[in-house]
Amino acid sequence: MGGGWLSSIFNQNEPSLRLIVGVNQIDKLVKDGWDERLNLPVEKLEKELQKRSKDVIQKLAKHSQISPENLEYYSALKRYRLLPLLTKIIKNAYAGFKLDNIKPADPFELADEEVREFVKDKRKEREKNENKKILAKESFFEEIKKILSEDDFNLVQQKLKQERAIPPKVAIFGKAGVGKTTTVNNLFNAKEKTSHTVVGTTKAYRKEYELSTGGKLEIIDLPGYGRSLSEDKEYEKIYQNVIPSCDLVFLIVQANTRDFSDDQEMVSKVSEWIKNSPKPER
Total structural domains within the chain: 1
Rounded CA gap, 189 and 211, in Å?
7
How many angstroms separate the CA atoms of 69 and 227, rounded? 29
Q: Is the pLDDT of residue 139 over 70?
A: no
Give the residue with greater pLDDT, 6 vs 162: 162
pLDDT category at 275 given cuts 50, 70, 90 is confident
> Does 226 fall in a domain?
yes
Q: Which domain holds residue 172?
A: 14-108+168-275
Query: What is the C-alpha separation between 265 and 65, in angstroms, rounded?
Result: 12
Per the prediction, the chain carries an average pLDDT of: 82
Instruction: Kindly indicate the confidence band of residue 201, based on its pLDDT and cuts at 50, 70 and 90.
Output: low
What sign for the dihedral angle of Cα 71, 77, 82, 86? positive
Q: Express each pLDDT in 32-67 by its tens digit.
A: 889 999 999 988 888 887 787 778 877 887 777 788
Residue 90 domain-assigned (yes or no): yes
CA distance 104 to 108: 12
Q: Could you tell me the CA-to-CA distances from 119 to 79, 84, 126, 247 in Å, in that order?
A: 15, 19, 11, 34
How far, CA to CA in Å, does 21 sit from each of 57, 94, 213?
A: 9, 16, 25
Query: 154 in a domain, yes or no?
Result: no
**Within a domain: 51:** yes
Residues 58 and 44: their CA atoms lie apart, in Å, by 22
